[in-house]
């Protein structure tokens, strides 16, 4: 008895495959939150893994310990450091140590490449602002030399 597989699938060179439109799956909500389109739903979504990693990394840097419900140790805890040490000579080393520790714990796939912190002297006397620039790589995904800049404000 001969078996026939005539209806068991579609050939790869078929026009159905060649002209198929691939819909990307949303990976996460884009922050800061904004209204979405028909494609993403009620909130705008990230469809690219590199954008989602950058978004999650920014959230990690901007979060202080105790800010997240259920994950009280989540975050780089930079706001307290800015208010205490923004003009201190060892600010950069302490900030980089805190960032490295939180990245190792929550996003170990990120390789930190460079770090720089620039205090902004043009804000009022009661407000401290530091711009933190980090260059990072995610080797498994082929993401290299991606840059993120975060501004940390603290009243003090």
- pLDDT tens, 121-145? 777 777 878 899 999 999 999 999 9
The pTM (predicted TM-score) of the whole model is: 0.80
The Cα–Cα gap between 121 and 87 comes to 10
pLDDT digits (tens, 9 = 90+) for 53-64: 999 999 999 999
The Cα 115–Cα 41 span in angstroms is: 36
Structure-model confidence comparison of residues 110 and 40, the more confident one = 110
Residues 6+ apart with CB under 8 A from 135: 112, 113, 114, 115, 145, 146, 147
Tokens of 59: 């959230």
């Amino acid at each position: 008895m001969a078996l026939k597989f005539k209806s068991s699938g579609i050939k790869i060179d078929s026009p159905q495959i060649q002209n198929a439109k691939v819909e990307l799956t949303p990976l996460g909500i884009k922050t800061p939150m904004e209204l979405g389109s028909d494609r993403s739903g009620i909130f705008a979504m990230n469809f690219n893994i590199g954008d989602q990693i950058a978004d999650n990394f920014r959230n990690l840097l901007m979060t202080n310990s105790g800010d997240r419900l259920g994950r009280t140790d989540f975050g780089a805890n930079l706001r307290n450091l800015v208010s205490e040490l923004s003009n201190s000579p060892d600010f950069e080393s302490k900030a980089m140590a805190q960032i490295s520790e939180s990245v190792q714990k929550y996003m170990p796939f990120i390789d930190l490449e460079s770090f720089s912190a620039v205090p902004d002297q043009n804000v009022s006397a009661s407000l401290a602002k530091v711009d933190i620039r980090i260059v990072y790589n995610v080797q498994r995904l082929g993401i290299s030399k991606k840059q993120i800049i975060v501004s940390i404000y603290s009243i003090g």
